[in-house]
Amino acid sequence: MDLKIAVLSGDGIGPEIMRQGIAVMNAIANKYGHQFSYTEAICGAHAIDAVGDPFPEETFKVCMDADAVLFAAVGDLRFDNNPTAKVRPEQGLLAMRKKLGLFANIRPVATFDCLLHKSPLKEELLRGADFIVIRELTGGMYFGEKYQDNDKAYDTDIYTRPEIERILKVAFEYAMKRNKHLTVVDKANVLASSRLWRQIAKEMEPSYPEVTTDYMFIDNAAMRVLTEPRFFDVIVTENTFGDILTDETSCITGSMGLQPSASLGEHTPLFEPVHGSWPQAAGKNLANPVAQILSAAMLLEHFGLNQEGALIRTAVDASLDANVRTPEIQIEGGEHYGTEEVGKWIADYIANA
Ligand code: IPM
Ligand code: MN
């Protein structure tokens, strides 16, 4: 298969983990005879420095022209520590989501048996937990009308019927492909926008008779994902709730450095780790490349390259089992492996498989 990939490495640890993501994609291309071509483009703090815009028009064009975007992370301490900065790297991320119409963010939550002890939660509770959170990504408070003066500020949590219908359709379809259990997470006891979500979900339920659909308030869901993670199969929720819930669910996996995601929508699909740019670790060969590598696996699976995706997953599992791990998940007394060594081990495993 020929795939044109836009490569957006961004800031902080982005370029380092991206190199390993690409090395793994290349190992797959060699093994299976695919042609993957890469076009790099700037975004985030880098792009602010270069052209004053965290998601420049040129980058947008590169993304629109590609079959898929492989994205790493944006963010920089210079902006985090400066509340008055007029342009921020994160604005580029939001502009990218909006302009590419990436309304469905798929965040899988799975465990690795050998890393269960890394979670702050009890092992027996976690074993076998495997669900996905589908976060609406281009609506709600993030993009609704905002206002701020010295005495008053507001953000509007606005959703329209078409926005709700399209994300729920994605969720029902994922549930059909998985264990046919959908949980709609909202705050319908308080918020009007949530009541519309719930109304539309109930209207759509009869079209998916095989799916068991239940409804849960976000505060309750925040508790249940930790106390009963095996209950869930597919969760769908609005932008803000999904943002918060998926940081929380990352502690089920044991490390932010292991969590990939896909953002799908109207134009080019995008694949990125859930974690951020970790500027403190930039250039230190410390960051875990696995979330980026698994994002590449999700990219390939999106195009039906399931065997290829599965081989990447097998290679990642093997690296963890062999204790070829970055420091944050390494066993006590285990050897030191950096970003590059872990990436190379996984790419070599694929080449020799
Ligand atoms: C995420 C991030 C972003 C978000 C930030 C960086 C704007 O936290 O992708 O979850 O809030 O969506
Ligand atoms: Mn977040």
How far apart are alpha carbons 218 and 222 in whole angstroms? Answer: 6
pLDDT of residue 214: 98
pLDDT of residue 187: 98
Report which protein residue has its CA nearest ligand 1's atom 11: 243
Report which protein residue has its CA nearest ligand 1's atom 9: 274
Ligand 1 centroid–CA 2 distance in Å is: 31
The tens digit of pLDDT for each residue in 174-183 reads 999 999 999 9
Report which protein residue has its CA nearest ligand 1's atom 10: 243
Q: Check if 152 is active-site.
A: no
How far apart are alpha carbons 140 and 186 in whole angstroms? Answer: 12
DSSP per residue, 199-216? HHHHHHGGG-TTSEEEEE
What are the start-end ranges of the E strands in 21-75?
35-40, 68-73
The tens digit of pLDDT for each residue in 60-85 reads 999 999 999 999 999 999 988 888 88
Q: Is the pLDDT at 346 greater than 90, yes or no? A: yes
The tens digit of pLDDT for each residue in 88-116 reads 999 999 999 999 999 999 999 999 988 99
Q: Starting from the CA of residue 105, give the closest ligand.
A: 1
Catalytic residue among 159, 187, 337, 344: 187
The closest-lying atom of ligand 1 relative to the alpha carbon of residue 75 is 6
Report which protein residue has its CA nearest ligand 1's atom 4: 243
pLDDT of residue 26: 98
pLDDT of residue 118: 85
Residues with CB under 6 A from ligand 1: 90, 93, 243
The tens digit of pLDDT for each residue in 158-171 reads 999 999 999 999 99
The tens digit of pLDDT for each residue in 300-322 reads 999 999 999 999 999 999 999 99
Q: Starting from the CA of residue 143, give the closest ligand.
A: 1
pLDDT of residue 299: 98
Q: Check if 142 is active-site.
A: yes
Please state the pTM of the whole predicted model. 0.94
Largest CA distance in the chain: 64
Q: How confident is the model at residue 255 (pLDDT cuts 50, 70, 90)?
A: confident
